[in-house]
Amino acid sequence: MARPPIRFAISHYDRYVPFLDGTVTLEAFDLQVLQVGQSVDGRYGKNRHSRMLNGNEFDVAEVSLSSYLMARARGLPFTAIPVFPRRLFSPSQIWIREGGRVKSPTDLIGKRVGLSTFQTTLSLLAKGDLQTEYGVPWREIEWVTNRPETVAFTPESGVRITQLPESKNLSALLLAGEIDAIFRPHPPDAYLKGDKSIRRLFDDPKAEEARYFRKNGFYPIMHITVFRDEVLQRHPELRAVMMEACARADEISLRYYDDPNWSRLAWGRHFLEEERMLLGANPWPIGIEANRACLERFIGYSHDQGLIAAPISVESLFA
């Protein structure tokens, strides 16, 4: 009897290599692993979040935590498992122009800041962290976006969002002085090409993020693993099966770093040991309780920023 096919859309991360190379499979299902990027093309294209949440293209996929919160609050037919394949701190993802008007977080008040979208999880986190950690009211900033929102929403009255065409490049706008900063989950194009006139807001973002971790106790979640409800109705056992498979993949991928030359980084093993000193043995936990404080913060940020109408419980994300 043929095994039911399950289309699993993911990015190309080290923690996913055991799925991508076939080391981790599902005994009772034909797991079809599709490398689909979000902003950058994978083997099967990009725009993974919208293709899942708007197009129902995959059975299970890695999607934006922020967009999933919005979809769940609106009753859309998706349910997550508490597996979180992407995480980022916000301080390293805030970029400014050298010699510009912004030199500290409070300088962002009254300025124009570029985002890929208002609801992108890094955008949600950075706006919320500015207000919570640095006393910078996010409502007192004009937000400039250059991509369509994954889940439609109506901004609250008074929130300033300027939507530009996708052809507009945020790096170019920053260099031209048309915006004052960029918050995004990837370094700006110009910075990647070696332009030293774009730099991070914080002089020592690692120290800032270590402080954040000591204070709050978590490495912030960016993405979550989401099923179409129709798939879970047909195969309810898939939740537990995928949780176990993701745990196996995580364990296998961590063992890669036992070899000090597995990564192309000359001191990759040293960096791992330094990270463990700062963040503990496992800043990538799976499960609800180990991630409750982080999820509660994101739910609060989402409500405050007008993306969900009312707070929802952590348990409801996985019910």
Q: Which of 216, 244, 269 is the last residue of a domain?
A: 216
pLDDT in tens, 206-218: 999 999 999 999 9
Number of domains in the chain: 2
Domain range for 286: 5-87+220-314
Last residue of one domain, picked from the residues 216, 236, 264: 216
What is the arithmetic mean of pLDDT over 268-277? 95
310 and 200 in a single domain? The answer is: no
pTM above 0.85, yes or no: yes
- Beta-strand runs (E) in the chain: 5-10, 30-35, 60-64, 78-87, 94-97, 112-115, 142-145, 161-163, 181-183, 198-200, 221-228
pLDDT at position 233 is 97
Q: Are residues 169 and 75 in the same domain?
A: no
Residue 319 lies in a domain: no
Q: What is the pLDDT of residue 319?
A: 74
The confidence score (pLDDT) of residue 78 equals: 98
Q: For residues 312 and 80, give the distance between their C-alpha atoms in angstroms, rounded to a whole number.
A: 14
- If asked whether residues 73 and 154 sit together in one domain, one would say no
Residue that finishes a domain, picked among 155, 184, 216? 216
CA dihedral 187, 189, 191, 192 (to 10 degrees): 80
Q: Are residues 227 and 211 in the same domain?
A: no
Question: What's the pLDDT at 166?
Answer: 86
**For range 294-300, the mean pLDDT:** 98
pLDDT at 39 over 80: yes
Please write the tens of the pLDDT for every residue from 217-266: 999 999 999 999 999 999 999 999 999 999 999 999 999 999 999 999 99
Shared domain check, 133 and 77: no
- The answer to whether residues 70 and 125 belong to one domain is no
* Percent of the residues in the chain that have a pLDDT greater than 90, as a whole number: 95
Mean confidence (pLDDT) of the chain: 96
Q: Say what the pLDDT of residue 106 is.
A: 98
What is the band of 69 on the pLDDT scale with cuts at 50, 70, 90? very high
